[in-house]
Amino acid sequence: MPEKIPQFTPRVLYLSYAFPPGVSGRFPDLNPAGHAAETRMIQAMQRVTPVNSVGMLAHETHGRLEPRDDSIGLDHDFLMWSRSPEIWHRWQAWRSLCHFYLQWTARHGLPDVILVKNFGPVYNWFIRWLRRQSPRPLLALLLADSGSLGQPIPLGKRLRYALKPMVTLDEGKAIRWFDACISFGLGTRQYFEPRGIPWMWMPSAYNFTYDLPPAQAATSAGPIRFGYFGALSEHTTVVPLVHAFLEARIHGTLRMCGHGKLAGSLKELAARHSNFIFDGTLPRQSDCLDWAQQVDVLLNPRLPHFGLENSFPSKIFEYGVTGRAILTTRTGGVDQVLGESGLYLETENFLPALASRLREVSATDRAELHRRGMAIREKIVHDYTWDAQARRMVDFLGRAAAARKRLF
């Protein structure tokens, strides 16, 4: 019997936007879903292979990392801030990152993989600098989202961005700087594989372990209750969702909580309509899972606008572990995760279609909604843990890095 060849586990240096531990709880508006996903992902990868990280934080956090609380985060080996004036601080951050890399590799040796979260000015310049070094690691892109990839760029925007320091406007060109890509969005395959760049779909995983409360009421009386938690911004279509719900004239309620610029508009709508309830921002992101037990169906009205086919709605996994039924569009490959247990919305002629679908679901037997929700939970908990995703990612990166070593 031939001897089994051990699987190659790469050493990874991750360029991140996640907070350090104990910080994110004070900044709920600074992309908490992305922070939680990065943190859980890297913690899981560290259980499989050596991973070190670098952090780039928003200017709002500069000088405000203390006092720490119990919120999750990454212990970065090196930390930078995005600050004004941009041209000075981006250049300084790039220089300091190059200096850190040279010192770190002198002490620890060359990593097998540099894994970079999205396209950002400082990290972009660092990758372009690193491509000129020899030898160098595999350069892998972790593409969580991109609003411009595959979109036409108007001339006016090109001229405006030509004056912005260190900004790469055409992300289609930036793709060529990388040797491999792990993408949250199913639709990005078309930009990588035709160029011969190894590509993997990894739509994220659930960020918070959650045990259902003991008495799941599959036969509760009363109208069907709808709910939404997450970002409250234009791209999430939450205000049109409320209007469609009100126009559907169903007997149930719609509850909503979250964070974002549209919170004021939603609060005003709730004051005028008794069947729409806005609960504002909860103390912690993980509190949304208990909050969801007040409803029967969770809503995800994401449309394929603003480049959202290039990402995946991470809240789908938190929705899934609550055991609630989910009514959603297919944008980003959601139907590939939920399968036949999901309830789906079509995106053409969206608002009338949404109102019609809400009426249909409101007439569905609650026991059937409960069955769908529990089937989704079972699938999510079985297939979409961060430990399972980390093993897939490390295997993909290991194969890509080993192939590059054979070539060079």
Nearest Cα to Cα of residue 181 among 116, 129, 110: 116
Token pair of 97 as six digits: 């990152």
Same domain, 163 and 283: no
Look at residue 282 and tell me if it is in a domain.
Answer: yes
Look at residue 329 and tell me if it is in a domain.
Answer: yes
Which residue do the tokens 């050596």 mark?
Answer: 50
**What was the pLDDT predicted at 1?**
39
Query: Running along the chain, 408 residues long, what does each successive block of 10 average in pLDDT?
Result: 58 97 87 88 97 96 93 96 91 97 97 96 96 96 88 81 77 92 94 94 95 69 94 92 96 94 95 96 91 97 86 95 97 95 94 96 96 98 96 96 87
Residues 6 or more apart whose Cβ sits within 8 Å of residue 331: 302, 303, 304, 308, 309, 313, 347
Token pair of 95 as six digits: 């220089």
pTM for this prediction? 0.91
Look at residue 2 and tell me if it is in a domain.
Answer: no
Same domain, 235 and 349: yes
Q: Is 407 helix (H, G, I), strand (E, B) or coil?
A: helix
Look at residue 211 and tell me if it is in a domain.
Answer: no
Look at residue 216 and tell me if it is in a domain.
Answer: no
Token pair of 178 as six digits: 């990388």
Same domain, 169 and 288: no
Same domain, 187 and 54: yes
**What was the pLDDT predicted at 2?**
41
Nearest Cα to Cα of residue 14 among 135, 103, 101: 101
Beta strand ranges found along 7-93 (DSSP E): 12-16, 51-57, 78-81
CATH number for position 348: 3.40.50.2000
Containing structural domain, residue 24: 12-205+385-407
